[in-house]
Structure formats: structure tokens, C-alpha cells
Amino acid sequence: MRWPRASRPGHDGRVPPTVTIALTSPHTTAARGALRAYFTDIVGRYHGRAACSTEIDQVLADTDALEPPHGLLWLAGQETAVLGCAGLRFVPGGIGEVTRVWVSPAARRRGVASALLATVEAAAREHGLSLLRLDTRDDLVEARALYARCGFTEVPAFNDDVYARHWFAKTLG
């Protein structure tokens, strides 16, 4: 697979060598594979067991929210391998919700997630959004640390998602 768009630097100013980030439709084979891996990871972690195909298929049905005009989805890749993904949903009021941030276990701790978040943030600015927000669970400790490193601050709950225990926001200037 070719990655047509150059990477943007991560929040630490470095782009992982040879990693590119491309805007893509959530309906491509590569995107479906990344989203399936994301849900397999987080559903399995939540339940303490392997996620079954039916559970994954149910949550994959929500991918239209990551396609214009509702949102956007990016894949991080290296050569032909998909390393991760991140999505942005457009919410009324100039708000963007960051979602589906995931990096393959083999690519973690290499700056891929930071580069994905920097790409999401740049796109949010380009679309005139004034605020980014996201929610996450208690057990996703690494995600909470990543969001704090990237300038997100913990805020009061802004939704009633049954899985969310932490809510973050970042004002865009």
C-alpha cells in the first residue's frame, strides 16, 4: 500500500522515521483491519478475555461517523504495514471528538500515537474547530498519559458513555 500524504511531526517535534500518516476512508481494507485490531485490543482488555467476532462486528458498524462530512480517519503506516489509526468526529459548536486512537503493540513507544494526534489537531484547526475532546477508560493508563503529554487536560464528564471514566479537552488557539 502506498501512503500518499507525508507525516506531520508528533508533539515532541519528531516524526518516527519512515512512518507516514494518510487520511483514508474507514471502509478501506486497511482501515477496517486497523479498526478491528483497535476494538480487539480494547474489548479484550476491558473484559479480560479475547474479544469475539460478534462483539467486534457490532462496534465496527459505527465507522460512518469517521467519514466526511461527519469525521475523518487517518492510518499510520510504514511500507505496507498499518501501525495505527486515529479518528476525528465533528460535533456542533466547533468541537472535534478524538476517537479510535490505537497503535499496534509492535509500534508502540516510537512516537506514532503522538504523530497521529498532531495530525488530528492540525486537521481540526484547518476545519476551524476551537476545541478537541475525548473520553477514555480507567484501564487505558497509557492513553491517559499520552493525552496529558499532548496538552489535553482532564475535564468534567461531557457525555454518559458507560465505558468512559476520564474526559479530556484541549482548546485550539
Question: Using one digit for the tens of pLDDT, what is the confidence trace for 87-134?
Answer: 999 999 999 999 999 999 999 999 999 999 999 999 999 999 999 999
- Strands (DSSP E) found in the chain: 20-24, 71-78, 81-91, 95-103, 131-136, 153-155, 166-171
> Is residue 53 one of the residues assigned to a domain?
yes
> Is residue 32 one of the residues assigned to a domain?
yes
> Is residue 167 one of the residues assigned to a domain?
yes
How many structural domains comprise the chain?
1
Reference 67, options 119, 93, 36, 32; nearest CA is 32
> Is residue 13 one of the residues assigned to a domain?
no
Domain containing 36 — which CATH number?
Answer: 3.40.630.30
What are the C-alpha distances in Å from 47 to residues 19, 44, 135?
A: 32, 5, 18
**Range of 119's domain?**
20-171
| Low pLDDT (below 50) residues in the chain | 1-11, 13
The overall pTM is greater than 0.85: yes
> Is residue 6 one of the residues assigned to a domain?
no
> Is residue 3 one of the residues assigned to a domain?
no
pLDDT at position 16 is 63
pLDDT at position 15 is 53
Q: How many helices (H) and strands (E) does the chain have?
A: 4, 7
> Is residue 4 one of the residues assigned to a domain?
no
pLDDT at position 17 is 66
> Is residue 1 one of the residues assigned to a domain?
no
What are the C-alpha distances in Å from 164 to residues 40, 48, 111, 168?
A: 17, 17, 25, 11
